[in-house]
Structure 1
Amino acid sequence: MELVSVAAVAENGVIGRDGELPWESIPADKRQYRERVADAPVILGRLTFESMLGDLPGRAQVVLSRVERSYDPATACHAGDVAEALEIAASLGRPTTYVLGGAEAYELLQPRVDRMVLSRVHGSYEGDSYYPMWNEDGWELECETPYDRFTLEEWRRIGQ
């Protein structure tokens, strides 16, 4: 199973503020993101999951949380740690699983990620959540696609 981190990241690394995006909605980014993850399992932290309850992404949601709980949507299940989240995602039989955040989920899963699809939002924003730092020496930028207000970057871990 390939593990892909998907995030919208400002030039200063910010991904969120008070549980929301700190920039105005970018419809083209939301559309490409939704299409990418639509038929795949996703791994996300509890707060990110709760912020998306009205419009859940992905075929199945693996909710990474230290506190065990059940979730109303039948497509969601709990994982207590990274190993369990990866095991559940692999058991769903899809070739790709996407990591959707928040900051702590990105940080915990970054060592396991095979690819990153980053929407580099133009500009710097104030925020309280950041995408994890990573060493570009271990990654290859496969392509960049410019859009209005963001550039889509697709990275692959070298040696994968």
Structure 2
Amino acid sequence: MELVSVAAVPDNLVIGSDGELPWERIPADKRQYRDRVADAVVVLGRQTFESMREDLPGRHQIVLSRSEREYDVESASPAVSVEDAVDAAESLGADTVYVLGGAAIYELFQPHLDRMLLSRVPGEYEGDVRYPEWDDDEWELASSSAEPGFTLEEWIRRPAA
């Protein structure tokens, strides 16, 4: 099973400010993101899950939380650790699982990721939440495509030496 992080990040990796994106929404990015995860199993933290309840991504959401254990959404399952989330995704028959954040979830999953799909938003922004930095020696930029308002980058983890 492949674990793939999906995030929009500016040059300074700030991904949030008081629970909101620190830049104007980019419709083309939202479309490609929604299309990508529409039929997939996704992993997200409880706060991110709660912020998306009106328009949940993916066909099944695995919600990682230390406190919540039940959700009143049929497509949501609880998890308490990365291993628990991976086990839940495997039980759902997922070939690819998309990790959607927030920051603590990205940080927990970073050592386990196979790929990162990053919408690179130009500029630097103020905020209180950051995407985790990564070691360039462990990752290779496999593709980059200019899109309206952002550049979509695909990073692949290099095989261990």
TM-score > 0.5, shorter chain as reference? yes
3-state SS, counterpart of residue 84 of structure 1: helix
What does residue 154 of structure 1 align with?
Answer: 154
- The letter of the residue matching 1:103 is A
Are 1:16 and 2:4 counterparts?
Answer: no
Cα separation, 2, equivalents of 1:83 and 1:94: 15
Deviation at residue 108 of structure 1 after TM alignment: 0.2
Are 1:114 and 2:111 counterparts?
Answer: no
What does residue 26 of structure 1 align with?
Answer: 26
Identity %: 64
Alignment of 1:54-93 (within 5 A): 54-93=54-93
Cα separation, 2, equivalents of 1:25 and 1:149: 9
Cα separation, 1, equivalents of 2:121 and 2:48: 19
- The letter of the residue matching 1:29 is D
Alignment of 1:32-47 (within 5 A): 32-47=32-47
TM-score (norm 2): 0.97
Deviation at residue 68 of structure 1 after TM alignment: 3.3
- The letter of the residue matching 1:120 is R
- The letter of the residue matching 2:118 is L
Deviation at residue 104 of structure 1 after TM alignment: 0.1
Task: Identify unmatched segments of 5+ residues in structure 1.
Answer: none
Deviation at residue 63 of structure 1 after TM alignment: 0.4
Cα separation, 2, equivalents of 1:119 and 1:76: 26
Aligned partners of 2:69 and 2:79 also within 8 Å: no
Cα separation, 2, equivalents of 1:141 and 1:90: 27
3-state SS, counterpart of residue 109 of structure 2: helix
Cα separation, 1, equivalents of 2:90 and 2:24: 35
Cα separation, 1, equivalents of 2:106 and 2:44: 8
Which 4+ residue blocks in structure 1 deviate beyond 2 angstroms? none
Deviation at residue 19 of structure 1 after TM alignment: 1.1
Cα separation, 2, equivalents of 1:78 and 1:102: 16
3-state SS, counterpart of residue 110 of structure 1: helix
Number of residue pairs matched?
160
RMSD (CA atoms): 1.0
Deviation at residue 148 of structure 1 after TM alignment: 2.3
Task: Identify unmatched segments of 5+ residues in structure 2.
Answer: none
Deviation at residue 69 of structure 1 after TM alignment: 2.4
Deviation at residue 136 of structure 1 after TM alignment: 1.0
